[in-house]
Amino acid sequence: MSHTNKNLKSYSKYHYPLAIVFLLLSVLPLLSACGNTSKADTPYPIMVSLAVDPNPAQTGKTIYVSAILNEIKSDTMNPEKSFPIEDAQSVTFVIASTDDHQPTEPRTVEAQHTIGGMYVAEIQLNTPGTYTIEAKIQARGETLTETTQFTVQP
């Protein structure tokens, strides 16, 4: 009997620590993968081009405000390797006067998708001056803003 007891002590002395090491080695790769995201999970950068046509504009005439959205699917911001975003959740333009002597309330206009990644809104302004347009874009799980200025002449 003492011989069996001796074997049991030697088994526990060497095998339990090996079992713990084996368990740790098998669990570590699972734990390290929890915080990582693969390249496929990360969204591609979005390039926004904002334009006002005509610039300078005329009071009382139609002004076209457009935002062109492209997703860059490469390591560089090369427009030739971009794809139009035709399914943006929302594109709105906030128009505000930047002139101190004739302040106006900011006006928000919803843009409509036209073709490719182009979203357009038509506006008319009756007061000459300098204006700022801020595009607020929700696309591909991101919220983006882009701003530009333009002039309205009498």
Instruction: Write out the DSSP string of 85-117.
Output: ----SEEEEEEEE--SSS----EEEE-EE-STT
Q: How far is CA 18 from the centre of its chain?
A: 48
pLDDT of residue 86: 95
* CA atoms of 92 and 25, how far apart (whole Å): 52
CA distances (Å), origin 80, targets 45, 47, 122, 125: 14, 12, 28, 35
Q: Are 77 and 47 in contact (CB under 8 A)?
A: yes
Q: What is the pLDDT of residue 100?
A: 72
List the pLDDT tens digit at each of the 154 positions of the chain. Answer: 555 555 545 555 555 454 444 444 444 344 444 444 444 455 788 889 999 999 999 999 999 999 999 998 876 666 677 899 999 999 999 999 988 766 678 999 999 999 999 999 999 999 999 999 999 999 998 999 999 999 999 9
pLDDT at 146 (0 to 100): 96
- Name 19's Cβ contacts closer than 8 Å, sequence gap at least 6: none
> According to the model, what pLDDT value does residue 45 have?
86
- Give me the pLDDT at residue 109, please: 97
pLDDT (0 to 100) of residue 82: 83
- HSE value, Cβ hemisphere, 13 Å, CA-based, for 140: 17
Instruction: Tell me how far apart the terminal alpha carbons of the chain are, to the nearest angstrom.
Output: 110
Query: pTM of this prediction?
Result: 0.68
